[in-house]
Amino acid sequence: MKKLFTTVAVAAAMASPALTQAQFSMPSIPGVGKLMGGSGSADVAGQGDALVRSYVGASKEVLSANAKMATALGLKEQAASAASTADSLGDGATIGALGDGNKVVSDTSGAIAESMAKKPVLDAASKATFAEGLVHLVNGSVKYAGMGKDVSVMGKSLQSANPVQLTKLTSAAWVVSKFPGSASDLFSTVQTAIAFARANDIEVPANAADATAALGTLKL
């Protein structure tokens, strides 16, 4: 893990404009393409882009879930924050955008957990809204669980990537470094939300148990 964090830092540093300009101004030398990446570089970059898209998709589900559950619990500010972040987060998100999304997930999940701990009484409409949030939350859990293998593979690719490849993998490197913590936090969030739902006669998705189990058994 220490080596991975070092790789992430190097990848970020390699993304500087000066270096990028230097790369594009290099003369064409026979054989250098393979040495500096070639088709392999494109393959790894494509895998990195796919990983970021998967992470964004899973994060948008969790943000949508938090928007619904926060609304049900009367947390208007948190609901608005989660909803707007879900709408703005795109597939090609930068490290900054990914980090902002991650913070909103953490902040809104914390506020929702605090509210649920107070055991509020919800009316029928609020229960229905909370149930909608649970559907998104379980969908997000399924997506997170499905990313485990890809995160592991990308982690290994980052450790063996050449400098040119690293410049194209900064967002993927960020995802790899943050994924274990995000998955662990989501596991706790799902468990708490399901327990609250069952205690308040709120419908729980049929696949909730399987999704939670898959998330809990991720080996990262």
Give residue 217's pLDDT: 87
| Whether the predicted pLDDT of 23 surpasses 90 | no
123-142 pLDDT per residue, tens: 999 999 999 999 999 999 99
- Is the Cβ–Cβ distance between 58 and 140 less than 8 Å? yes
Q: What's the confidence (pLDDT) of residue 161?
A: 87
Neighbours of 19 (CB within 10 A): 13
What's the pLDDT at 167?
Answer: 87
User: Is pLDDT of 119 > 60?
Assistant: yes
Q: Does the pTM of the predicted model rise above 0.85?
A: no
The per-residue pLDDT for 27 is 38
Return the percentage of the chain with pLDDT > 70, whole number: 80
| Burial track 101-110 (b if 16+ CB lie within 10 A, e otherwise) | bbebbeebbe
Cα 152 to its chain centre, rounded Å, is 14
Q: Which amino acid is at 123?
A: D
Q: What are the extents of the domains in the chain? A: 2-6+40-216
| Confidence at 11, pLDDT banded by 50, 70, 90 | low
Q: Is 212 exposed, middle or buried (0-12, 13-18, 19+ CB in 10 A)?
A: buried
10 pLDDT more than 70: no
Q: What is the dihedral of CA 55, 58, 64, 66, to 10 degrees?
A: -90
The stretch 173-198 carries a mean pLDDT of 96
- Whole-number pLDDT of residue 37: 46
Half-sphere CA count of 37, side-chain side, radius 13 A: 18
Distance set, CA 121 to CA 126, 136, 160, 211 (Å): 9, 22, 54, 27
d(CA 166, CA 185): 28
Query: Distances from the Cα of 70 to the Cαs of 3, 94, 117, in angstroms?
Result: 38, 27, 13
- Per-residue pLDDT at 6 exceeds 80: no
Give the model's pLDDT for residue 41: 59
Pull the structure tokens for residue 41: 């570089």
Query: Using CA atoms, how far apart are residues 8 and 177, in angstroms rounded to an integer?
Result: 8
Task: Give residue 218's pLDDT band: very low, low, confident or very high (50, 70, 90).
Answer: confident
Per the prediction, the chain carries an average pLDDT of 85
> Predicted confidence band at 22 (pLDDT cuts at 50, 70, 90)?
very low
**Conformation bin of residue 205: beta by default, left when phi > 0, alpha when psi is -120 to 50:** beta
- pLDDT tens digit string along 44-102? 889 999 999 999 999 999 999 999 999 999 999 999 999 999 999 987 788 999 999 99
